[in-house]
Chain A
Amino acid sequence: MTRKPAFVLWFVLPSALTALGLMVAMLAVLQYSVRAFIPGSLEVGGFTLGNFQGLFKSLYAEAFLNTVSLSFKTALFGLLLSYPLAYALVRTRAGWLKSSILIIAITPLFLGEVVRTYSWIIVLGSSGFLNSVLLAVGLIDKPLQLMFTQTGVVLALVHVTMPIMVLMLATGLSHIDPAYEKAATSLGAGPIRAFLTVTLPLSLPGIVASLTTAFAWTFSAFATPQLIGGGKVSTVATLVYQLGFSSLNFPFAAALSVAGLVLTVLLLAALKRMARSLQRAGGY
């Protein structure tokens, strides 16, 4: 680090303004959340805590539970599917294979939620791909109900979050020297044991980072629960949108968002804490 020249101020200014805009927007949410709703008007009334009391209704409690359970399931299944892919991506030596895995694994990241969700509608629909295949093979004799169910939503959400998980896990894995694993093998450990006792613990930071991101992404997902859940699976995101744009009850939508944000932060902090104690238990 050197002494700071005058231009540094000009370099920081644009980002400081951007950060300011973001903070003011978040403050606006906070401010709306404690204002009274005037039905039929976009103006808000005086200060009140009534919006937060309203959150304790069973409809909203259920949406919160739903969102948390969807996020946990998605993060967990996403990890189970992403880890092998990230491992293969980092350890594959053949260039073309590495590039293919990389392109296949991360292209969905750039397709956006709408395209991917739509594709899953075609896969999961009652005359969609999955049911047609299962019917043709004879495994089922009437179409499975996958659309408008939690299972369908989790399946699509896992697919939506996988690319970012693969990326984060691969970043973590790429910084582990393969020599450690080789050392373990040459000392007599089998490949499974070498992986479980050397590579897996060393990749724990990447695992935590990817779980955290998957959790946050699922929490904020809107198109997938809305279109695949079709109103049967309500989450914080879908309710915020309904409250804002169907009922025009922006104060309540704001209160719901604030509660959602607090919950996200608490759960992510808990996750981080758990990971830290896990690492300490492992002696790192």
Chain B
Amino acid sequence: MTRSHRDKWLGHAGRLLVALILLFVLLPTIVVIISSFSSTSVLFFPPKGWSLRWFVRAAHYDDFRNGFYAGLVVTAWASSLAVVIGTTLAIAINRYDFRCKHALEGVLLSPLFIPHFTIGLGLLMLVAQLNLGRGYALVIFCHIVLVLPFVLRSLYVSLHNLEQRVELAAASLGASPLRVVWTITVPLMIPGLFGGWLFAAILSFNEFTASLFVTTQATQTLPVAMYNYVREFADPTLAALSVVYIAATATLLTLANRFLGLGRVLNVEGAR
């Protein structure tokens, strides 16, 4: 075999490998989509008949409806607050020096390796000891802690890519530091802010393990409601709900990719 022959063969093998891996990633999604249209209440593959009844049932199941609204409340507050907290911190860390800077950053990034169940358990014990109720505030705080590392990551990238000379120009023209932040830094960060907010929102809406610990029947979010459903029933209602989920998430990400450039936000663009 000549060298160019071998290289071509290698290229094909590589493409085949990548295609197979992508298929593995897609497989459960494809299977769940097919199953959601099944007409029987016991899951068989391939389904014995087709219907839309599980979509109807998913839309009318009370726990899912309540979970959806509770999830929206938690997600809206948690992701917005996380972006505010993250932005102020990212600017302070990136542009200024202050005491305990690295300790603070370390603590806030620690949920990346502290198991979610430990964080949920800790917050549950904390409110039990302080005799506070398990309300929305607890769930929202829990989600802020969990999504903050991801928000920070996205904001660091956007601060890093920001043309710092513009800030210097504004400062040298006499703008106070706060005015520079408010009129130059924050507006220039808006794509990053939006990207960070979007990720925080999607992650919060889907967070499950810690939520299982900190929610009650009244504040249970959609993933918790789904988990409880799957433990009780085996019908394809959850498959139908999953399809709605997958469609909504893929649409959001495709839009984010189109308008924000997902590769840039996630920092995976190749070196040019």
**A26 to B144 CA separation, bound complex (whole angstroms):** 16
When distances are taken between beta carbons in the complex, the residues of chain B under 8 Å from A213 are: 112-113
**A84 to B10 CA separation, bound complex (whole angstroms):** 13
Instruction: Check if A11 sits within 8 Å of B114, measured CB to CB.
Output: no
When distances are taken between beta carbons in the complex, the residues of chain B under 8 Å from A75 are: none
Q: Which residue of B lies closest to A156 (CB)?
A: B28
In the A-B complex, the 9 residue pairs with the closest CB atoms: A112-B206, A220-B115, A119-B28, A25-B122, A170-B268, A11-B88, A15-B89, A216-B113, A28-B125
When distances are taken between beta carbons in the complex, the residues of chain A under 8 Å from B245 are: 111-112, 115
Instruction: Check if A190 sits within 8 Å of B3, measured CB to CB.
Output: yes
Q: Which residue of B lies closest to A162 (CB)?
A: B25
**Which of B115, B245, B254, B266: most chain A Cβ within 10 A?**
B115
**A116 to B44 CA separation, bound complex (whole angstroms):** 18
Interchain Cβ contacts under 8 Å between A and B, 9 examples: A1-B97, A18-B145, A106-B253, A110-B206, A112-B205, A220-B114, A222-B209, A254-B125, A257-B118
**A227 to B228 CA separation, bound complex (whole angstroms):** 11
User: Given A29-B122, A115-B245, A178-B270, are A223 and B208 also a contact pair (CB < 8 Å)?
Assistant: yes
Instruction: Check if A268 sits within 8 Å of B113, measured CB to CB.
Output: yes
Q: Determine if B212 is an interface residue (Cβ-Cβ < 8 Å).
A: yes
CB distance from B96 to the nearest CB of A (A): 5
User: Given A127-B45, A174-B267, are A15 and B97 also a contact pair (CB < 8 Å)?
Assistant: no
**Which of A9, A14, A15, A227: most chain B Cβ within 10 A?**
A15
What sequence of 0s and 1s flags, for each residue 215-238 of chain A, a beta carbon within 8 Å of any chain B beta carbon?
Answer: 010011111000100000000110
**A241 to B123 CA separation, bound complex (whole angstroms):** 14
B residues with CB within 8 A of A: 3, 6-7, 10, 14, 17-18, 21-22, 24-29, 31-32, 35, 42-46, 84-86, 88-89, 91-92, 95-98, 104, 107-108, 110-119, 121-126, 128-129, 141, 144-145, 148, 176-178, 181, 199, 202-203, 205-209, 212-213, 223, 226-227, 230-231, 238-239, 242, 245-246, 249-250, 252-254, 257, 262-263, 266-271
Q: Determine if A91 is an interface residue (Cβ-Cβ < 8 Å).
A: yes
**A6 to B55 CA separation, bound complex (whole angstroms):** 55
Instruction: Check if A122 sits within 8 Å of B28, measured CB to CB.
Output: yes
Count A interface residues, CB 8 Å. 100
Q: Determine if A142 is an interface residue (Cβ-Cβ < 8 Å).
A: no
**Which of A26, A110, A240, A265: most chain B Cβ within 10 A?**
A110
Which of A16, A107, A253 contacts B121, CB < 8 Å? A253
What sequence of 0s and 1s flags, for each residue 7-24 of chain A, a beta carbon within 8 Å of any chain B beta carbon?
Answer: 111111011101101111
Instruction: Check if B115 sits within 8 Å of A264, measured CB to CB.
Output: yes
Q: Determine if A275 is an interface residue (Cβ-Cβ < 8 Å).
A: no
**A170 to B35 CA separation, bound complex (whole angstroms):** 33
Q: Determine if A59 is an interface residue (Cβ-Cβ < 8 Å).
A: no
Instruction: Check if B97 sits within 8 Å of A127, measured CB to CB.
Output: no
Within 8 A of B (CB), among A131-180: 131-132, 159, 162, 167, 170-171, 173-178
When distances are taken between beta carbons in the complex, the residues of chain A under 8 Å from B207 are: 112
Instruction: Check if B98 sits within 8 Å of A4, measured CB to CB.
Output: yes
Which of A2, A4, A132, A173 contacts B46, CB < 8 Å? A132
